[in-house]
Amino acid sequence: PYALARNPLYIGNGLIGAGWGLMAGGRALLLFAAGFLIIYCLLIIPWEEAFLQGKFGTDYEEYRANTGRFFPLRLPSGRIKGPFEPSILWESERHSLLVTAAGTALLLARVF
């Protein structure tokens, strides 16, 4: 996903949070959206981009110029190449999956 957008995890987290906010009610969604925008867009992402710029220099500048912050600037013309190892994905994201499932279950219990 990083070949298409620089921050795909934040989009995913935002969608999960928006779903939770919709389940919890309109006010919760508004509070989540405001908090998400402030924390991620104004604090975390600029810090990360400055760090990556310092670490990778012109390579990061080129990547940044050709890759959208949240959404692709253009669709890839060919197949995106790169290794994919499901075990690495599971190792790095299993906790996120468990937290998302638990949060959703708690909200569903509250709603019903």
Residues 76-110 pLDDT 10s: 777 777 777 888 878 888 888 898 899 889 888 87
pTM here? Answer: 0.67
* 66 occurs within a structural domain: yes
Task: Indicate the pLDDT class of residue 32, thresholds 50, 70 and 90.
Answer: confident
**CA 41 – CA 10 distance, rounded (Å):** 9
**CA 91 – CA 61 distance, rounded (Å):** 30
**CA 43 – CA 65 distance, rounded (Å):** 21
Count: domains in the chain: 1
* 105 occurs within a structural domain: no
pLDDT in tens, 43-64: 999 999 999 999 999 999 999 9
Closest residue by Cα to residue 103 from 45, 43, 19 = 19
**CA 39 – CA 43 distance, rounded (Å):** 5
The residue range of the domain holding 63 is: 8-75
Q: Which two tokens stand for residue 92?
A: 């790095």
67 CB contacts (<8 Å, ≥6 apart)?
2, 3, 4, 5, 6, 73
